[in-house]
Amino acid sequence: MTATIKLGQLAEFLGATLCGSAEKEITGLATLQEAGPSQLSFLANPQYRKYLVDCHAGAVLLKAADAQEYAGDSLVVPDPYLAYARISHLFDSKPKASAGIHPSAVIAEDALIDPTASIGAFAVVESGAQIAAGVTVGAHCFIGARCSIGEGGWLAPRVTLYHDVHIGKRVVIQSGAVIGGEGFGFANEKGVWQKIAQVGGVTIGDDVEIGVNTAIDRGALADTLIGNGVKLDNQIQIAHNVQVGDHTAMAACVGISGSTKIGKHCMLAGGVGLVGHIEICDNVFLTGMTMVTHSITEPGAYSSGTAMQPAAQWRKSAARIRQLDDIARRLKHLEKQVGEVTSSAKASSEG
Amino acid sequence: MTATIKLGQLAEFLGATLCGSAEKEITGLATLQEAGPSQLSFLANPQYRKYLVDCHAGAVLLKAADAQEYAGDSLVVPDPYLAYARISHLFDSKPKASAGIHPSAVIAEDALIDPTASIGAFAVVESGAQIAAGVTVGAHCFIGARCSIGEGGWLAPRVTLYHDVHIGKRVVIQSGAVIGGEGFGFANEKGVWQKIAQVGGVTIGDDVEIGVNTAIDRGALADTLIGNGVKLDNQIQIAHNVQVGDHTAMAACVGISGSTKIGKHCMLAGGVGLVGHIEICDNVFLTGMTMVTHSITEPGAYSSGTAMQPAAQWRKSAARIRQLDDIARRLKHLEKQVGEVTSSAKASSEG
Amino acid sequence: MTATIKLGQLAEFLGATLCGSAEKEITGLATLQEAGPSQLSFLANPQYRKYLVDCHAGAVLLKAADAQEYAGDSLVVPDPYLAYARISHLFDSKPKASAGIHPSAVIAEDALIDPTASIGAFAVVESGAQIAAGVTVGAHCFIGARCSIGEGGWLAPRVTLYHDVHIGKRVVIQSGAVIGGEGFGFANEKGVWQKIAQVGGVTIGDDVEIGVNTAIDRGALADTLIGNGVKLDNQIQIAHNVQVGDHTAMAACVGISGSTKIGKHCMLAGGVGLVGHIEICDNVFLTGMTMVTHSITEPGAYSSGTAMQPAAQWRKSAARIRQLDDIARRLKHLEKQVGEVTSSAKASSEG
């Protein structure tokens, strides 16, 4: 299953400077600590420079400065992490689906499926769907009516697209993701919730990645919009009519409430939650588990929550937080008292 | 795909007062800002009243007071949002499944399926299951042994019901939801967890909605219970033996631990977490990401967490919170000191 | 569907002392409050001792001390909760799958499936997969290339294993779980995220349980590792290269970021989040919704967050937290002032 590629070929592929044997055969990738003599490694984080000394890797992707000090073979590149990213795909043993429609799949007569696309076992493709060249639709996928999937897309087994979901080119969707579910729209009539049909769809740009069990709801009226190059990790919830700007990345377990608009090049760490109907500007970084209750208009990093403590100490802190308003009032009162005492003391000493 | 309905017909359907042309044809719904001349819009939130001036909608659902000031066509109703909810279904292009069992479905011989029900491709219906009139079971659904689904239910593709799950009438379940999974029950034997069989089931009332990838575990002994009219958004976790009262709504990513009982007409915002074995009374509102560690006996709104700050400021706040117990003690000490100084000062000035 | 077992047989099965009729027939399990005359109950939590008086159970699992005071029939055991755990499986009406491959399943020619294994309807088993004796693979499961599942495993309907996932013996996986999804690995190239192929797999020990819709990502280079006896509840996210030690349990909605290592016998309550690249030592307990941003080197309980308050009071607390750094500085200043006043007062009174 493993690829075997000569070091010289890898140098050529990357446009890297080769320090070492062009004929050395590389069969895989590993960390500096674990790599063996036929594996390629990389040094991206300066903290790991210490592992270079005892490194047994066949070769290492290094910056020029690091390569000078390294005795073993290396490929010298400006950005070793990026070079590793590019090269990783050469050693990926992920099975490739063959073109064509599995005989068990159920395909609507008027669905348009490019002959170079691959449709897996037990997939269902509904009326009017369009699947472009080179797309892989995994086993157990459901592609709803009038959906479109742009060229080069890859859907893992068991991805569900409701109707009217439009997906750009080269989009990767992991198992269990559901795109186009009916958003949480209800009108309250004397305490009883009346459902609002969600008549919008979902539009997803090019080069988007959507993680395992992530949900992106369809719009209530207009479409929910995911920009180009957006990367969504696992277990994320994107509510109806959310808009996510180009190249924004979200780590796992993020939840975005309805109609919220997120800018470009934002990063949301794991577990972040945003209320609905707010706007986050471009280049915002939200640290883990931050609760965002209002719009953000300035780029930068934002946080909420409290730092972890041993539970016994935390209980004291938590109790004191509930007294904080009282503490602040008492402090103000004390400042007034002390101010009076010191000024009268001053007056009497000067008097 | 789009419905075309005359304004007069819509007025009749709603029992609305028509201000404008009964013959005008409406083909869809849109917001006040986006609606075109063949679309219907609505004004529910007073903040959006400003958009009425430049509104190009074919007609707008309005309260009487707003209609007087609006130059265009309108349908006058007491509650425009509720009227929009009702009318939204007329313009929904969601495909309707036809009655009957898809030839690829695997149905147990003793399953009872009403002839007006629709069973999708690759669905599995196990022994003793009962599916009532007008129910839609989407593709890839799994209906476990002895389950029942009441009339008019709609299961999106890929919904899983374990055995002994009983679902009321007109219940909507979105893709990826799993009802009846085995709850997290283990007894600890010298550090090793021993599994407890979960022998209860799940009982779900009428008019319930269950969101994408939401999980409702079966009971350990008795059933987990979801009341009538309950609305559960996406990615929610309901543990074993939870009870949810009628018409309670939960936004996405809520987690409810085992045996907790939630009252009627509660609202849980996104990301709320509840510990197990507590009771929440009726009419409680929990704001986003609140952590609930004890029972709530009074209706009202409750919160936990901290407000978001720029990360650099937040780090200071977080560090200070860990000093809070110390701060509170020092404040108390200072109050005592100042009290003594001021009373002695008073005494000396009076002396 | 219900089992009927005589009390004497249950005593023998458990090695319990029987106080009562060996011939009494037991047909199920229930709580002390709900059990009827043919049901067995148990007293594990001392808080429920009060329910013994009016208990109508056919018999109760009791410690010796409690049995002395109980008038009804009992089975005396050292640990009633553990005895209940063991006995619960006798009364479980969960359907048992019969051995063999459902005719609708799609099985690769070179997959090795033990004849005593059960493969459900519409399951897909890919090339090189190995499924051991007594394994149940539910309907709609997808078993990727070169996966292995050890003997006695039980996969609910609709479980997805990507390629190269290795699972130990007696592992239980609930519906919607996805093992081996592609972790969130991207290198940033001038603001654009470049995907890193995730070439590692997942290795899972013996006696592991994985909950509904839980995701465990494959490793970037080496495998993601889940130890023996680990219990994972629903909706959990385990990122790439995480390592979880033996017999650690996690409640629902926990999220673990990449490359974090968790020790043995830890307990993570619901909604806990851990950043990446940290280590948690053995025997750590994290309370609900705690955010863990650095390594933990001492066993014990840890917490973060704030205690819930009525929303109006919470808003005041939250506002004051943002003033905390200022409050702490003012307090320090005041202490200095008061120190000077009291020492000068002391000096003047002594002078």
DSSP E strands in B162-293: the ranges are: 165-167, 172-173, 178-181, 186-189, 192-195, 202-204, 209-210, 215-217, 224-226, 231-232, 237-238, 243-244, 249-250, 255-256, 261-262, 267-268, 273-274, 279-280, 284-286, 291-292
Strands in B17-19's sheet, in edge-to-edge order, are: B17-19, B74-76, B59-62, B39-42, B28-29
Domain containing B156 — which CATH number?
A: 2.160.10.10
Which positions of chain B have pLDDT values less than 50?
A: none
What's the rounded mean pLDDT across residues A274-278?
97
Strands in A261-262's sheet, in edge-to-edge order, are: A112-113, A130-131, A148-149, A165-167, A202-204, A224-226, A243-244, A261-262, A279-280
Domain assignment present for residue C351? The answer is: no
Per-residue pLDDT, A349: 63
Same domain as C109, residue C31: no
For residues B211 and A184, is the Cβ–Cβ distance under 8 A?
Answer: yes
Per-residue confidence band for A171, with pLDDT thresholds at 50, 70 and 90: very high
Place of tokens 């209980």: A315
For residues B278 and B258, is the Cβ–Cβ distance under 8 A?
Answer: no
DSSP run (H or E) holding C225: strand C224-226
Per-residue pLDDT, B140: 98
Quote the minimal CA–CA distance from A225 to chain B in Å.
16
In b/e form, how buried is each residue of C245-276, taking b as 16+ CB within 10 angstroms? bbbbbbbbbbbbbbbbbbbbbbbbbbbbbbbb
pLDDT tens for each residue of B227-285: 999 999 999 999 999 999 999 999 999 999 999 999 999 999 999 999 999 999 999 99
Write out chain A residues lying below 8 Å of C104, CB-based.
104
Range of the domain at C64: 5-91
For residues B201 and B166, is the Cβ–Cβ distance under 8 A?
Answer: yes
Structure tokens belonging to residue B158? 């890929």
d(Cα C116, Cα C138) in Å, to the nearest integer? 14
Same domain as B113, residue B53: no
pLDDT tens for each residue of A139-167: 999 999 999 999 999 999 999 999 999 99
Domain assignment present for residue B57? The answer is: yes
Quote the minimal CA–CA distance from C108 to chain A in Å.
12
Structure tokens belonging to residue C105? 């399943």
Question: Which candidate in C324, C341, C348 is best for mutational testing of the B interface (most B CBs within 10 A)?
Answer: C324
Domain assignment present for residue A33? The answer is: yes
d(Cα B283, Cα B266) in Å, to the nearest integer? 5
Per-residue pLDDT, A350: 60
CB-based contact B181 C86, cutoff 8 Å: no
Same domain as A108, residue A66: no
Give residue B192's Cα distance to chain centre.
Answer: 37
**Is C195 near chain A, with CB under 8 Å?**
yes
Per-residue pLDDT, A337: 87
d(Cα C10, Cα C17) in Å, to the nearest integer? 10
DSSP run (H or E) holding A7: helix A7-14
d(Cα B178, Cα B158) in Å, to the nearest integer? 9
**Is C316 near chain A, with CB under 8 Å?**
yes
Gyration radius of chain B over CA positions: 28
Same domain as B272, residue B189: yes
For residues C196 and A84, is the Cβ–Cβ distance under 8 A?
Answer: yes
The structural domain count of chain C equals 3
d(Cα C202, Cα C269) in Å, to the nearest integer? 24
Same domain as B281, residue B138: yes
Place of tokens 């690249």: C277
- Portion 143-182 of C in contact with A at CB < 8 A: 144-146, 158, 160, 162-164, 176, 178, 181-182
Whether the pLDDT of residue C350 is over 70: the answer is no
Q: Which of B240, B247, B277, B333 is catalytic?
A: B240
- By DSSP bridging, strand A25-26 and strand A5-6 are antiparallel
ipTM of the complex: 0.95
What's the rounded mean pLDDT across residues C64-87?
95
Percent of chain C with pLDDT over 70: 97
Answer with the one of C56, C91, C126 that is the final residue of a domain.
Answer: C91
Same domain as B128, residue B246: yes
Which is higher by pLDDT, A247 or A336? A247
Burial of C183 (0-12, 13-18, 19+ CB in 10 A): buried
Quote the minimal CA–CA distance from C116 to chain B in Å.
21
Residues 6+ apart with CB under 8 A from B76: B16, B17, B18, B19, B62, B63, B64, B67
Quote the minimal CA–CA distance from A78 to chain B in Å.
31
Residue B240 a catalytic site member: yes
For residues A234 and C217, is the Cβ–Cβ distance under 8 A?
Answer: yes
> CB-CB: which of C81, C121, C235 is closest to B124?
C121
Quote the minimal CA–CA distance from A252 to chain B in Å.
12
Q: Is A148 helix (H, G, I), strand (E, B) or coil?
A: strand
* DSSP code, position A97: P
pLDDT tens for each residue of A51-93: 999 999 999 999 999 999 899 999 999 999 999 999 999 999 9
Same domain as A81, residue A104: no
In b/e form, how buried is each residue of C324-342, taking b as 16+ CB within 10 angstroms? beebbebbeebbebbeebb
d(Cα C265, Cα C250) in Å, to the nearest integer? 10
Give the Å distances, CA to CA, from C253 to A115, B306, C171, C180.
Answer: 41, 20, 20, 18
Q: Which amino acid is at C318?
A: A
d(Cα C46, Cα C31) in Å, to the nearest integer? 14
Same domain as B298, residue B314: no
For residues C131 and C112, is the Cβ–Cβ distance under 8 A?
Answer: yes
A262-271, C270-279, C335-344: segment of lowest average pLDDT: C335-344
What is the DSSP track for C132-166? -TT-EE-TT-EE-TT-EE-TT-EE-SS-EE-SSEE
**Is A228 near chain C, with CB under 8 Å?**
no
Q: Is C312 helix (H, G, I), strand (E, B) or coil?
A: helix
Whether the pLDDT of residue A1 is over 60: the answer is no
What is the DSSP track for B70-90? --S-EEE-S-HHHHHHHHHGG
Same domain as C258, residue C192: yes
d(Cα B319, Cα B283) in Å, to the nearest integer? 36
Phi, psi of C136 (to 5 degrees): -110, 125
Question: Which candidate in A1, A212, A294, A350 is best for mutational testing of the C interface (most C CBs within 10 A)?
Answer: A212
Same domain as A203, residue A62: no
Give CA angle at A58 (A57, A64), nearest 5°.
Answer: 80
Answer with the one of B285, B302, B319 that is the final residue of a domain.
Answer: B302
Domain assignment present for residue B351? The answer is: no
Region class of A222: left (phi > 0), else alpha (psi between -120 and 50), else beta? beta
Domain containing C40 — which CATH number?
A: 3.40.1390.10
d(Cα A68, Cα A72) in Å, to the nearest integer? 10
Per-residue pLDDT, A340: 82
Same domain as A264, residue A117: yes
Domain assignment present for residue B274? The answer is: yes
pLDDT tens for each residue of C180-198: 999 999 999 999 999 999 9
Per-residue pLDDT, B339: 84
Q: Which amino acid is at A122?
A: F
Burial of C323 (0-12, 13-18, 19+ CB in 10 A): middle
Burial of C343 (0-12, 13-18, 19+ CB in 10 A): exposed
DSSP E strands in A157-223: the ranges are: 160-161, 165-167, 172-173, 178-181, 186-189, 192-195, 202-204, 209-210, 215-217
pLDDT tens for each residue of A19-38: 999 999 999 999 999 999 99
Per-residue pLDDT, C340: 82
Per-residue pLDDT, C346: 66
Domain assignment present for residue B221? The answer is: yes
Most distant CA pair in chain B, distance? 104
Write out chain B residues lying below 8 Å of C345, CB-based.
341, 344-345
For chain B, the first-to-last Cα distance in angstroms comes to 95
Listed residue (C313, B337, B339) closest to A326, CA to CA = C313
Place of tokens 């399953």: B111
- Portion 256-315 of C in contact with A at CB < 8 A: 257, 273, 275, 285, 287, 289-294, 300-307, 309, 313
Beta-bridge partner residues of C148: C130, C166
Same domain as B130, residue B19: no
- By DSSP bridging, strand A192-195 and strand A186-189 are antiparallel
Q: Please write down the HEC assignment for all residues of B26-42.
A: ECEECCCCCCCCCEEEE
pLDDT tens for each residue of A208-226: 999 999 999 999 999 999 9
> CB-CB: which of A229, A311, A328 is closest to C301?
A311
Question: The pTM is what?
Answer: 0.96
Listed residue (A106, A200, A116, A237) closest to B157, CA to CA = A106
Answer with the one of B91, B121, B139 that is the final residue of a domain.
Answer: B91
Domain assignment present for residue A351? The answer is: no
For residues B247 and B227, is the Cβ–Cβ distance under 8 A?
Answer: yes
d(Cα A81, Cα A32) in Å, to the nearest integer? 13
d(Cα A48, Cα A35) in Å, to the nearest integer? 14
Which is higher by pLDDT, A340 or B127? B127
Structure tokens belonging to residue C343? 């020492």
Domain assignment present for residue A176? The answer is: yes
Q: Which amino acid is at B61?
A: L
Which chain B residue has its CA at the smallest distance from A140's CA? Answer: B140
Question: Which candidate in C289, C309, C349 is best for mutational testing of the B interface (most B CBs within 10 A)?
Answer: C289
Per-residue confidence band for A345, with pLDDT thresholds at 50, 70 and 90: low
Per-residue pLDDT, B120: 98
Place of tokens 């809070």: B324
**Is B335 near chain A, with CB under 8 Å?**
yes
